[in-house]
């Protein structure tokens, strides 16, 4: 009898141990699965306007399957409408699109942004910011029609304003009553600058003089566009031969060839809208795939992404239009691996995820998520 009891006790102990080992194994599997799922996420930042429900900069994630998830508010700041990283990606810069425009600097921690400092942008309503490998920071001030120059210190703090480049002139359209700098771009040299002005209807060419910390106009300072174009944003072909300029006011993409001496020449112009569309529309953002084969642009009004095939000579063929499933597609972005395209719909407070066919360039809807007044997506 005692032997039977002892055997039952032993079996009970063995059973408990086996159950505990199974539970521990399952916990380990769950932890590993959770880590794997987390590693499959690609996080991105969303810049917003804060005149409604938004409080500043948010972090979201894109899953390997294209699904979107909201992480959290990572920085409270006023109308951070456009975002960029420092060259080493240690810091995030945001323009504060206000009458007294500013640029804010944040240190990027694992899952948060640590505010460092904020400096004047040099003008009113800054709507674009970029940083080069030397830490110089350029911002386009829309309402005052100029470009401001600052610099990131080694600790990520911004210097005071170093210089401004004031644009002059106007265009033929009602919205071109004076200069309106809308974006600023760095050529591969990192110190050669293209300032895009919707109001003067021109590209302005300049360079950063690192020694004097000034913006210096080039010998050929401007390139004019067809009346009423309203240049807004640009996209450079990876082959270095062409660049594409989005005309916000006449809804066109203008192809520019880049000469050996870095001179730009207008080649062709293409509409971003279907021939039968008769409504109001303004162009917004433009991006090219990393292989240079497909170009995308967002239409506000038609509320679509127009898709172009890029030919070997840089010319474009329209191959489709994809509804953005919202209103006011202000900014959009391709995921780092080019598999997905995400659109920020400003007026309907949502972000849309599309799967991108890398062979055909076409888009397929995957997911939608709420976001307060989203205007910029930064991977």
Looking at every residue in the chain, the average pLDDT score rounds to 92
Contacts of 316 (CB under 8 A, 6+ apart): 244, 253, 255, 268, 270, 295, 308, 309, 310
d(CA 207, CA 299) in angstroms, rounded, equals 31
pLDDT at 35: 44
pLDDT at 144: 98
β 192-197/181-186 pair status:
antiparallel
End-to-end CA distance of the chain: 71
d(CA 375, CA 46) in angstroms, rounded, equals 7
Q: What digits encode the pLDDT tens for the residues 270-305?
A: 999 999 999 999 999 999 999 999 999 999 999 999
Do 359 and 40 contact (CB within 8 A), yes or no?
no
Do 269 and 252 contact (CB within 8 A), yes or no?
yes
Angle at 216 between CA 212 and CA 221, to 5 degrees: 175
Sheet holding 126-131, edge to edge: 126-131, 136-141, 146-151, 163-166
Beta-ladder partners of 141: 126, 146
pTM above 0.85, yes or no: yes
Do 232 and 198 contact (CB within 8 A), yes or no?
yes
Do 29 and 52 contact (CB within 8 A), yes or no?
no
Collect the ranges in the chain with pLDDT lower than 50: 3, 5-11, 29, 31-37
d(CA 329, CA 350) in angstroms, rounded, equals 10
């Amino acid at each position: 009898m005692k032997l039977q009891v002892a055997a039952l006790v032993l079996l009970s102990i063995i059973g408990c141990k086996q159950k505990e080992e199974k539970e521990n194994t399952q916990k380990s599997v769950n932890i590993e699965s959770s880590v794997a799922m987390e590693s499959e996420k690609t996080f991105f930042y969303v810049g917003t306007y804060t005149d409604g429900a938004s409080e500043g900069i948010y972090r979201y994630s894109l899953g390997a399957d294209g699904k979107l998830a909201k992480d959290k508010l990572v920085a409270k700041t006023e109308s951070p409408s456009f975002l960029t990283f420092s060259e080493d990606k240690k810091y995030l810069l945001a323009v504060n699109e206000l009458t007294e425009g500013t640029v804010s600097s944040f240190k990027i921690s694992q899952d948060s942004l640590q505010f460092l400092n904020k400096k004047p942008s040099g003008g009113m309503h800054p709507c674009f910011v970029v940083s080069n490998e030397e830490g110089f920071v350029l911002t386009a001030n829309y309402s005052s029609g100029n470009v401001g120059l600052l610099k990131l210190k080694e600790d990520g703090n911004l210097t005071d304003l170093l210089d401004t480049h004031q644009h002059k002139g106007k265009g033929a359209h009602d919205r071109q009553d004076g200069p309106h700098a809308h974006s600023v771009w760095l050529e591969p040299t990192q110190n050669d600058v293209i300032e895009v002005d919707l109001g003067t209807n021109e590209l302005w060419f300049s360079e950063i003089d690192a020694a004097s910390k000034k913006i210096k106009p080039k010998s050929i300072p401007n390139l004019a566009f067809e009346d009423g174009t309203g240049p807004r944003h640009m996209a450079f072909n990876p082959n270095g031969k062409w660049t594409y300029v989005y005309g916000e006011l006449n809804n066109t993409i203008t192809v520019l060839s880049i000469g050996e001496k870095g001179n730009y020449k207008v080649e062709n112009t293409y509409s971003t809208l279907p021939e039968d569309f008769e409504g109001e529309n303004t162009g917004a953002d433009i991006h090219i795939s990393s292989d240079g084969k497909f170009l995308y642009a967002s239409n506000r009004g038609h509320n679509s992404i127009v898709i172009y095939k890029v030919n070997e000579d840089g010319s474009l063929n329209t191959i489709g239009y994809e509804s953005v499933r919202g209103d006011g597609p202000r900014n959009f972005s391709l995921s780092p691996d080019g598999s997905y395209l995400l659109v920020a719909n400003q007026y309907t407070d949502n972000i849309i995820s599309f799967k991108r066919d890398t062979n055909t360039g076409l888009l397929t809807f995957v997911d939608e998520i709420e976001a307060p007044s989203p205007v910029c997506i930064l991977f």
